[in-house]
């Protein structure tokens, strides 16, 4: 990344698309990456469903090279909403049905895995979704009480995505409920206002990406992504791999 960086002046901040990472200093920050439809939702679902780990990569070539090094793994991914040739379909329910328990998933998407990779310079990077919002906020407040929290909406091709901003609002709402006089940026306040006034599942089914997914026959996947707090796990990026934090694993399964 290049260009001038700014220092964030608030405890909780929202970036509306991954390209805005170029404008901020990541060092010492805690980043929550969101790609609600579907990359981070899929990662949370797969890990909660027993996957050993997720390896987020930048593109198809990197995914194939990574899979060749690993050997026994599940390759999943898409480019511009089209499943990559020979890859498992990358939406949450489809990937769970494909089978991920005990396996490493090498995962390439147009936006979410790119955002995850580009945020790696932060002090800690978490994988967020509506599915795990409350649990992840609880964990961050317990482990990172003094750090600035940056909620990163992946967006789509340098564009703002409604569903990611809604997801950011969900996280801000949870932070606001727990923190006394929460220090929010204007973007964080705007996201929270949207979250408070929009209603699921219509909010996600009717937004641009959601409507496109419905037309592709993926309504049940969009509705699954709407299940707030249904998977109370904490997933973090470490050494290029997303794994469950040990105290959040289902049944106490270590990360």
Answer with the residue of higher pLDDT: 25 or 213: 213
pLDDT at site 1: 41
Residue pair 213/221 in contact (Cβ under 8 Å)? The answer is yes
Largest CA distance in the chain: 50
Q: Is the confidence at residue 238, as pLDDT, over 50?
A: yes
Tell me which residue range forms the domain holding 234: 12-239
| Chain segment 140-183, per-residue pLDDT in tens | 999 998 899 999 999 998 999 999 999 999 999 999 999 888 89
pLDDT at site 22: 85
Between CA 90 and CA 45 the distance in angstroms is 11
> Which residues touch 169 (CB under 8 Å, ≥6 apart)?
191, 192, 193, 194, 195, 196
Within-domain flag for 182: yes
Within-domain flag for 189: yes
Q: Is the confidence at residue 252, as pLDDT, over 60?
A: no
CA distances 16 to 34, 39, 55, Å, are 10, 16, 24
| Chain segment 25-81, per-residue pLDDT in tens | 899 999 999 999 999 999 999 999 999 999 999 999 999 999 999 999 999 999 988
Within-domain flag for 186: yes
| Chain segment 101-146, per-residue pLDDT in tens | 999 999 999 999 999 999 999 999 999 999 999 999 999 999 998 8
pLDDT at site 109: 93
pLDDT at site 247: 63
Q: How confident is the model at residue 23 (pLDDT cuts 50, 70, 90)?
A: confident
Q: Is the confidence at residue 204, as pLDDT, over 50?
A: yes
Number of structural domains (the chain) is 1
CATH code at 153? Answer: 3.90.1560.10
pTM: 0.92
Within-domain flag for 248: no
What would the mean pLDDT of 174-200 be, rounded to a whole number?
A: 95
Q: Is the confidence at residue 4, as pLDDT, over 90?
A: no
DSSP-based three-state secondary structure for 81: coil
pLDDT at site 157: 86
Which class for 241: exposed (0-12), middle (13-18), buried (19 or more C-beta within 10 A)? middle
Helices (H) and strands (E) in the chain, counts: 10, 10
Answer with the residue of higher pLDDT: 10 or 114: 114
């Amino acid at each position: 990344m290049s260009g001038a960086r700014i220092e964030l002046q608030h405890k909780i901040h929202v970036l509306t698309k991954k390209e805005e990472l170029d404008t901020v200093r990541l060092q010492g920050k805690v980043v929550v990456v969101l790609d609600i439809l579907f990359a981070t939702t899929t990662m949370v679902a797969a890990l909660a469903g027993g996957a050993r780990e997720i390896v987020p990569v930048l593109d198809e070539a990197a995914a194939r090279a990574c899979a060749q090094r690993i050997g026994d793994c599940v390759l999943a991914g898409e480019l511009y909403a089209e499943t990559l040739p020979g890859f498992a379909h990358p939406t949450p329910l489809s990937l769970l049905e494909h089978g991920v328990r005990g396996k490493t998933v090498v995962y390439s998407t147009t936006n979410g895995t790119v955002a995850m990779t580009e945020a790696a310079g932060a002090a800690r990077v978490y994988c967020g979704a509506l599915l795990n919002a409350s649990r992840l906020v609880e964990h961050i407040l317990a482990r990172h009480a003094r750090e600035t929290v940056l909620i990163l909406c992946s967006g789509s091709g340098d564009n703002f995505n409604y569903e990611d901003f809604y997801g950011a609002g969900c996280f801000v709402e949870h932070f606001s409920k727990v923190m006394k006089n929460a220090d929010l940026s204007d973007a964080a306040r705007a996201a929270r206002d949207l979250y408070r006034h929009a209603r699921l599942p219509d909010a996600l089914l009717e937004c641009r990406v959601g409507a496109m997914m419905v037309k592709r026959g993926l309504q049940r996947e969009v509705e699954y992504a709407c299940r707030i707090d249904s998977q109370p796990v904490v997933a973090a990026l470490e050494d290029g791999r997303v794994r469950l934090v040990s105290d959040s694993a289902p049944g106490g399964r270590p990360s």
